[in-house]
């Protein structure tokens, strides 16, 4: 049951991410937004970064499932007190997921700041051009 929940949760999350990115792309391309192509480049960087995180997450998930098989066979061979190999595998997966979360938080923060800055500069230029006329 947990396996199905995890994949369903991941699917809903990815679907909402795709819809959010599509909405932002449509918003920055609207004529009423008055933006040039600069925000488009920030969103492309964001999409590439998120794609990297998603691919890496799937890789970790597949590696984790392979490790479970390996850990199960190791558990039969090892003494009950010798669980260093099992802990190393779990620690590696947890570290990589935390690293990717940190990367994603940094990426989102930078893209949001860039978009806000580009929108503010665009509005400021629009206000200056309206005052000149």
Q: What SS3 string covers the chain?
A: CHHHHHHHHHHHHHHHHHHHHHHHHHHHHCHHHCCCCHHHHHHHHHHHHHHHHHHHHHHHHHHHHHHHHHHHHHHHHCCCCCCHHHHHHHHHHHHHHHHHHHHHHHHHHHHHHHHHHHHHHHHHHHHHHHHHC
pLDDT digits 0-9 by tens, 10-39: 889 989 999 999 999 898 888 877 788 888
Task: Tell me the whole-structure pTM to 2 decimals.
Answer: 0.71
């Amino acid at each position: 049951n947990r396996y199905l929940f995890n994949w369903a949760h991941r699917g809903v999350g990815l679907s909402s991410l795709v819809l959010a990115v599509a909405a932002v792309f449509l918003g920055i391309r609207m004529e009423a937004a008055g933006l040039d192509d600069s925000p488009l480049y920030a969103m492309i960087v964001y999409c590439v970064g998120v794609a990297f995180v998603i691919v890496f997450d799937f890789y970790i998930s597949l590696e984790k499932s392979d490790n479970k098989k390996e850990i199960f066979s190791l558990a039969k061979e090892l003494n009950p007190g010798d669980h260093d190999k099992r802990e190393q595998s779990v620690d590696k997966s947890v570290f990589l997921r935390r690293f990717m979360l940190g990367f994603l938080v940094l990426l989102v923060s930078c893209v949001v700041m860039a978009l806000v800055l580009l929108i503010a500069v665009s509005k400021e230029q629009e206000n200056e051009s309206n005052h000149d006329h």
